[in-house]
Amino acid sequence: MNHAKINKLIDQYKFDTPINVTKTHLPNLESFQDYLKVIWENNWVTNNGQLHLRLEMELAKFFRAQYVNLFCNGTLALMLAMHAARLHGEIITTPFTFPATPNVLHWNEITPVFCDIEPNTYNIDTDKIESLITPKTSAILAVHVYGSPCDVRALECISNRHGVRIIYDAAHAFGVELDGQSIADFGDISAFSFHATKLFHTIEGGALVVRDLNLKKRLDFLKNFGIADEETVVTPGINAKMNELQAAIGLLELKNVATEIHKREKVHYKYMDLLKTTPGIKLPEKLPNVKRNYAYFPILIDRAKAGISRDELCDSLRKFNVFPRKYFYPLCSNFPFFASLPSASKEKLPIANKVAENILCLPMYGDLELDNVEIICHIIKNLMCTHQF
Ligand code: T4K
């Protein structure tokens, strides 16, 4: 590594303000204040308020779905999805995800069975699922990682063949369509996260899209302590309700989704264009028949060809005030509380382990200026050269 060259580069290209992996989009303050006035006039701030109901309806339209259920965050939404669907025993899932995915299984006293991923989309490898099915398997919990759809047709076939449910963790997939169909149309339940880091958000929040009215009703009880009416508690529920301030942000942010996706698309193709001939960098795959949402921009570094490792690149970029993230490292199957599971051994998950060691998500958000994308790519290419010598 040539320290003098790197220091010179830092002097030239260091950003004055940090460029993070993402930047929360906030609605216009005055329009939020208008909603605050409504909330103040109603004197109703949570528990199935007017804005909450409106957001549920607008999202049902957006997803072209019959039933949408809102929650205070995506993790509790997913946790209650498992509970409401009465899943038990073992669930086959991907290790290459945010900790929330396998953690909700633990909270439902379900054993995660980790399945390796496929090397292009980084989603669960459907060819490797069936050998993991046992009499205890009740479902497959698949994640549309970075918003790339899983092989939903193959998963549907597996579900029909073995009588197991399919639950999608669609935390990253808001607005994605496959063959013209909303991503929420597949599987038994799709769980979305509306965290502030997502392209559509309610500060904290989440939603489940379900197809069955009984399931929707059960979820309504489960997120509200199991209360059916003032004198009836039907199930040992929990408190996972979305409040009116969150719903107000959601109603405003929903209007911005199309613009946000369009702006991200430009950022995506700028990166693609500038990095396409860079050796040792695997860029996001083309996804035929998919309307993408450009939620993340993951690159996979091949140290031998790039001349720099993922960790060296990440550490060096920080010196330029650029903060990419190693989503999803460490791999969930290597967490101390999962590592002793038979399915968690590294030999059984070679691709997931390799991807987790080499992946880096570059800054991606609608307001990221294209000139800054150019500078980031310039820094990356220069770091690769300076590290080689
Ligand atoms: N399933 C999957 C597959 C998920 O990825 C997630 C969450 C879930 C389930 C669970 O959904 P939730 O329960 O969260 O609704 C972030 C998010 O907190 C998390 O929601 C998300 N996935 C995950 C991929 O990313 P961190 O720990 O990386 O966030 P943090 O605080 O380091 O923020 C990242 C960057 O975002 C910051 O560098 C700057 C920017 N940021 C962040 C915040 C909080 C802002 O610009 N403004 C902000 O207010 O987890």
Give 221-288 as a DSSP string. HHTBTTEEETTEE-S---B----HHHHHHHHHHHTTHHHHHHHHHHHHHHHHHHHTT-TTEEPPPP-T
pLDDT of residue 86: 96
Q: What is the percentage of the chain residues whose pLDDT exceeds 70?
A: 99
Residue 6 pLDDT class (50, 70, 90 cuts): confident
Euclidean distance between CA atoms 334 and 24, whole angstroms = 30
Residue 127 CA to ligand 1 center (angstroms) comes to 30
β-strands 281-282, 137-143 pairing: unpaired
Residues 187-232 pLDDT 10s: 999 999 999 999 999 999 999 999 999 999 999 999 999 999 999 9
Mean pLDDT across the stretch 354-363?
98
Per residue in 126-155, pLDDT (tens digit) is: 999 999 999 999 999 999 999 999 999 999
Over 80: is that where the pLDDT of 46 sits?
Answer: yes
Q: Does ligand 1 have an atom closer than 6 angstroms to the CB of 329?
A: no
- Reported in sequence order, the residue ranges of the chain that DSSP labels E, i.e. its strands, are 19-20, 67-71, 90-93, 111-114, 137-143, 165-169, 177-178, 181-182, 189-193, 206-210, 227-229, 232-233, 281-282, 290-291, 297-301, 322-323, 359-362
Order of all β-strands in the sheet with 297-301: 281-282, 297-301, 359-362
Rounded CA gap, 382 and 296, in Å? 23
Overall average pLDDT of the 52-60 stretch: 98
* pLDDT score recorded for residue 160: 98
Mutate to test the pocket of ligand 1, among 82, 167, 193 (most ligand atoms within 8 A of CB): 193
CA of 220 to the centre of ligand 1 (A): 25
How far is residue 129's CA from residue 227's CA, in Å, rounded to a whole number? 38
Instruction: Please state, rounded to an integer, the average pLDDT across all residues of the chain.
Output: 97
Predicted confidence (pLDDT) at residue 38 exceeds the cutoff of 60:
yes
Ligand 1 atom nearest to CA at 145:
3
Q: Alpha-carbon distance 63 to 71, whole Å?
A: 16
* Atom of ligand 1 minimally distant from the CA of 203: 49
Q: At what angle do helices 74-84 and 213-222 cross, to 10 degrees?
A: 120
Find the mean pLDDT for residues 83-106: 98
Nearest to 255 by CA among 34, 22, 21: 34
Q: Is the CB of 25 under 6 A from ligand 1?
A: no
Nearest CA to 79 among 164, 180, 167, 185? 167
Regarding the beta carbon of 143 and ligand 1, being less than 6 Å apart is answered: yes
Q: Does ligand 1 have an atom closer than 6 angstroms to the CB of 169?
A: yes
Which residues are CB-contacts of 33 (< 8 A; sequence separation ≥ 6)? Answer: none
Our mutation pick for probing the ligand 1 site, out of 76, 183, 195, counting the most ligand atoms within 8 A of Cβ, is: 195
pLDDT at 389 over 60: no
Cβ atoms of 130 and 162 within 8 Å: the answer is yes
Closest ligand 1 atom, residue 197 Cα: 36
Is residue 321 lining ligand 1, measured as CB closer than 6 Å? no
> Does any ligand 1 atom lie closer than 6 A to the CB of residue 164?
no
| Dist. CA 330–CA 254, nearest whole Å | 32
Note the Cα 138 to chain centre separation in Å: 23
pTM of the model: 0.97
pLDDT at residue 1 greater than cutoff 70 = no
DSSP 175: T
Q: Is the CB of 224 under 6 A from ligand 1?
A: no
Q: Is 196 in the pocket of ligand 1 (CB under 6 A)?
A: yes
Pick the closest to residue 324 from 282, 367, 360, 284 (CA basis).
360
pLDDT computed for residue 388 by the predictor: 60
Q: Which of 20, 23, 98, 296 to mutate to test the pocket of ligand 1 (most atoms within 8 A of CB)?
A: 98
**For atom 26 of ligand 1, which residue has the closest CA?**
197
d(CA 210, CA 215) in angstroms, rounded, equals 7
Helix or strand run (H / E) with residue 378: helix 370-388
Residue of 128, 126, 122, 153 lying closest to 289 (CA atoms):
153
Buried b (16+ CB within 10 A) or exposed e, 169-183: bbbbbbbbbbeeebb
| Separation CA 38–CA 206 (nearest Å) | 23
In this predicted structure, the answer to whether residue 387 has a pLDDT above a threshold of 80 is no
pLDDT tens, 326-343? 999 999 999 999 999 999
Any atom of ligand 1 within 6 Å of the Cβ of 122: no
pLDDT digits (tens, 9 = 90+) for 287-317: 999 999 999 999 999 999 999 999 999 999 9
Q: Which atom of ligand 1 is nearest to the CA of 78?
A: 9
* CB of 21 closer than 6 angstroms to any ligand 1 atom: yes
